[in-house]
Chain A
Amino acid sequence: MNMFLETLIGGLLAGTMYSLVAIGFVLIYKASGVFNYAQGSMLLFAALTFVSLTDQGVPVLVALVITIVVLALMAVGIERLILRPLVNRGPMTLFMATLGLAYIVEGTAQGLMGSQVKALDLGIEDLPIFLGDIMISQFDLTAAAVALILVVALSLLFNKTRLGVALRGVADDTSAALSIGIDINRIWQIVWTIAGLVGLVAGLLWGARQGVQFSLSLVVLKALPVLIIGGFTSITGAIIGGLVVGAAESLGETYIGPFLGGGITPWFAYALALAFLFIRPAGLFGEQKIERV
């Protein structure tokens, strides 16, 4: 029983990281209808920028500010050069465009800042702590707390500020938002910047764990099942989806993996997501679309 609980809690905590990545997707999907395949590359780019700066001896706070400015500039560039020309094109075209964007961001990040693994120390202790008999990673706990703070901050932003109201307006009804004078291009730039910041936080936490390196960009592949399970349009969904995937992967590897020769983590989440698609195509918290013809 303890082993089960330990596996479950470890999985849930790891899942908060998935949630963190998935939130970046949801923000962009809600505001611009794009499934941003480049989110993983943006995460890599953000973390790599920060680490490269601190490696050069730039103080942490200054490095953070510079990284944020760079992310904002990137968001403006993406909106101007990609989103605006592709407005009114199908979701598949937009998706493929973000695949192209991912290549550009990855190539640029690694071309400028190198492709070797960079160590990142955030000063978080990684000693296990014990709750009774159950061992929990302190690092995972910290990461989960950061994810929680970020979610609270985002929901305050969405619900309590004028910007948030405008954002939700665009997400709910783009043409109506346009007609009351909301500057949608501006909104897109802001949302992509925020998604970049969420990516930065996730990238730093993840990078502190396993080093800042190319494999960080592959988290996009982890986020997809999370979004299918939670729904593409709900932040709550992204969080729950992340927890479900984290727990399922952990439990699956421990209890099902041995029967299949182990190492099933790369596809287990996908199998779960496919099962979900058959039961509930819109995800747990997603909205079912009505087709008008």
Chain B
Amino acid sequence: MSEIELRLTGGIGEGVSTRKLTGIAVAALVVSLPFLATEYWINAIIVPFLILSLAGVGLNLLTGYAGQLSLGAGAFMMVGAYATFAFQLRLPELPLPFALIASGIVAGAVGFAFGFPSTRIKGFYLIVSTLAAQFFFEWLFLKFPWFYNGDPSATISLPAGLWAFGIDLNSPHGRYYLTLASVALLTWLSYNLVRSQTGRNWMAIRDMDTAAAVIGVPILRAKLQAFAVSSFILGIAGALWAFGYLGSASVQSFGLTRSYQILFIIIIGGMGTIRGAYLGAAFVSLLPLALDWLFQQLLGGHADAGLLQNIQKVIFGILILWFLIKEPEGLARLLRRQSGNFNTRRFPRLKIRRQT
């Protein structure tokens, strides 16, 4: 064990205690953040960043770890959001945290169902199944007023606002801590999972599914587990997005663009790494701000919003290509290289074999 520890931290001369100290410092910073940042930053940047990170973690389990491509992240988020709405509306006795978990389970069941085709098809063929989920739920939640309680603008918002066990979470601080607690807990669970036998099964399927089957990895079960767990997390992320960040949401909040965004987060951040989801989400959240600022400086506020959006699109496209070509392991790898720590023990490379 000591040898492993040495190798993990070797080369830069850090001791374990330094790592612990850093951890404590980060935790303290994260907890006290609401008192350091402005309300605007909490509401408009930090909360959505955390939720996007969580969605990235969810999709990464499926796509980055288990190697199952999905363009339906938005659909599973949507299911989570609408399920939370239904629970809070029709079962108000159920406290919000339990409603979130129950919604996650609903989304997980939906993911399980739409994961079934993965037992027959591989690779990018699978986008058919996840796109089917995307279009089906956009249709479903718009078609039947039951899902949005007949609201004239077909949007959903929590009837009683955000309350958990009598605590009011509607303030920016309340939203932040609700989001933080959910995101931290689910990240911890995901981290444990990817290091467990289930996580090894997922990566084995990703790296070489035929060999995995032959050495006794239960392919079918592992794939469906990946779909269910990924959708569980995406579902809760969707509920947080709708009610913790937006306040009120509609089908459009979880359209195909959202699915692309979550996929971009993990490509840019790093496939098959937990922290890559955070890095990717930070990047995706901050890039538009940076571009806005840049154009303000360059054009003195004359930039046309539509043009800006198109430029942003082109830049995202270029970045995706750049990362795929030059750094398939994303920002997570880039950062590790910067810090001089080359150990790749916990953040393996996503290499998808080309069939010959």
Contacts and interface: CB of A to CB of B under 8 A. Distances in A.
Contacts of A277: 117, 120-121, 125, 128-129
The dominant DSSP class at the B interface is helix
Contacts of B123: 90-92, 95
B354 A91 contact: yes
Given A85-B325, A277-B125, A221 B131 contact: yes
A203 to B, nearest CB: 19
Interface stretch (B10-18, B24-32, B152-160, B304-312): B304-312
Given A90-B352, A96-B324, A277-B120, A267 B132 contact: yes
A281 interface: yes
A85 B326 CA distance: 9
B98 interface: no
B211 A293 contact: yes
Most B Cβ at <10 Å: residue of A86, A89, A106, A228: A89
A267 B351 CA distance: 32
A261 B317 contact: no
A92 B316 CA distance: 18
Nearest to B206: A92
Contact of A107 (B125, B313, B319, B325): B313
Contact of B210 (A91, A97, A271, A293): A293
A44 to B, nearest CB: 13
Contact of A270 (B69, B136, B312, B321): B136
Given A100-B321, A100-B324, A277-B120, A264 B139 contact: yes
Given A103-B314, A277-B121, A278-B117, A92 B67 contact: yes
B328 interface: yes
A24 B127 CA distance: 19
A260 B136 CA distance: 12
A86 B313 CA distance: 21
A201 interface: no
A261 B146 CA distance: 13
A96 B352 contact: no
B352 to A, nearest CB: 3
A267 B129 CA distance: 11
Nearest to A291: B210
Contacts of B319: 100
B317 A274 contact: no
Given A92-B67, A228-B128, A266-B135, A104 B354 contact: no
Interface string B312-356: 111011111100110010000000000000000000000111111
A264 B132 CA distance: 12
Nearest to B304: A111
**What is the interface of chain A mostly: helix, strand, loop, or mixed?**
helix
A150 B250 CA distance: 42
B143 A92 contact: no
A224 interface: yes
A273 B313 contact: no
A242 to B, nearest CB: 16
Interface in A220-265: 221, 224-225, 228, 260-264
A44 B110 CA distance: 34
A273 B210 CA distance: 25
Nearest to B352: A90
A110 B310 contact: yes
B324 A274 contact: no
A224 B127 contact: yes
Given A115-B306, A263-B139, A277-B120, A103 B316 contact: yes
Contacts of B120: 277-278, 281
A99 interface: yes
B188 interface: no
A102 interface: yes
Nearest to B351: A90
Contacts of B117: 274, 277-278
B354 A90 contact: yes
A162 interface: no
A56 interface: no
A270 B135 contact: yes
A249 to B, nearest CB: 12
A160 interface: no
Given A270-B128, A277-B129, 20 more contacts: A33-B354, A89-B324, A89-B354, A96-B263, A97-B321, A97-B324, A97-B325, A100-B316, A100-B319, A103-B317, A104-B313, A104-B314, A107-B311, A221-B131, A261-B143, A273-B128, A274-B117, A277-B120, A278-B120, A289-B355
11 contacts: A95-B69, A96-B320, A97-B325, A106-B310, A108-B314, A224-B128, A225-B128, A262-B143, A267-B132, A270-B132, A281-B121
Interchain residue pairs A-B with the least CB separation, the first 10:
A90-B352, A100-B320, A103-B317, A107-B313, A104-B317, A111-B310, A107-B314, A270-B132, A267-B135, A95-B124
Interface of A: 33, 35, 81-82, 85-86, 88-93, 95-97, 99-108, 110-111, 115, 221, 224-225, 228, 260-264, 266-267, 270-271, 273-274, 277-278, 281, 289, 291-293
Interface of B: 67, 69, 117, 120-121, 123-125, 127-129, 131-132, 135-136, 138-139, 143-144, 210-211, 214, 260, 263, 267, 306-307, 310-314, 316-321, 324-325, 328, 351-356
